[in-house]
Amino acid sequence: MSFRVLLRGLVLITTLAGVVILFKTTQLGSSLDKSWIDETVRGNGITGELIFLGVVTVFTGLGLPRQVVSFLGGYAFGFIFGSVLAVSGTVIGCIGAFFYARLLGREFVATKFPNRVRRVDDFLHDNPFTMTLLIRMLPVGSNLAVNLVAGVSSVKPLPFFSGSALGYIPQTVVFALIGSGIAVEPELRISISVVLFIISSLLGIHLYRKHRHGKRFDDAIDRELGDLNGSPDQSNTSGA
């Protein structure tokens, strides 16, 4: 496995940890809390929760990294409920992007990139739930790209959404835990998050390599993991 995969994740964790420290040691956290979190989210009960859920849905549906919204969920609602809202919103965003691609772009993409669509079909066809879960657990790739490519494939929606929901949980928990550290025990929670990130990343990569049985979802993923050499796929490959 390429060391860069873990390094990028740890850099993201370090950056967010820096935000936590900044919020704890300056007035920035208090200002943000009053101007948005308390007034728009925390201070509005279920309305604030629905606002956050809607924001997560739209942003992840358009490609915002789910790690960021997980961090914000942990900050706004605490570790457990923040994780629940972040996963829920990300799944709804996944569903929206999936059906957008399936209803509006399937014929165009299938005609323009038949080889790539065929490869995705082959990867997901036999065990769509398990194979989707493996992809979601990897610490690399684009959430939006996976949603769109799956949408133009022949994969059944329910196992894809179920596998996605379960696969979202590990990294959501990691980054929601960091976000919750703004309010309490930042050093402990950040340390636990780093350990959990490393464990979940290594586990995801191990399971992907073990159960894919020689199949490839996307050249970019294999290249990031050090499993593929050579030039990029010519069929407009993007991270999964």
Residue 25 confidence (pLDDT) = 60
The C-alpha atoms of residue 167 and residue 177 are separated, in whole angstroms, by 17
Burial environment of residue 25 by CB neighbours within 10 A (0 to 12, 13 to 18, 19 or more): exposed
The C-alpha atoms of residue 212 and residue 5 are separated, in whole angstroms, by 19
The C-alpha atoms of residue 185 and residue 181 are separated, in whole angstroms, by 6
**Token pair listed for 3:** 């060391």
Side chain identity, residue 155: V
- Structure pTM? 0.74
Residue 90 confidence (pLDDT) = 96
Backbone dihedral angles phi then psi of residue 3, each to the nearest 5 degrees: -65, -25
Domain boundaries, the chain: 3-224
The C-alpha atoms of residue 156 and residue 165 are separated, in whole angstroms, by 15
**Token pair listed for 208:** 């992907």
Q: Are 106 and 138 a contacting pair, CB within 8 Å?
A: no
Residue 23 confidence (pLDDT) = 57
Q: Which of helix, strand or coil describes residue 46? A: helix
Residue 197 confidence (pLDDT) = 81
DSSP string, 82-116: HHHHHHHHHHHHHHHHHHHIIIIIHHHHHHH-HHH
Instruction: Give average pLDDT by consecutive 10-residue segment, the chain, 240 residues.
Output: 59 64 55 59 84 90 87 89 96 95 81 80 87 85 86 92 95 89 71 81 77 66 60 38
User: 112-155, pLDDT tens digit by residue?
Assistant: 778 778 888 888 888 899 989 988 988 777 888 889 889 988 89
Closest CA to 105 of 57, 149, 62: 149
Q: Are 171 and 200 a contacting pair, CB within 8 Å?
A: yes
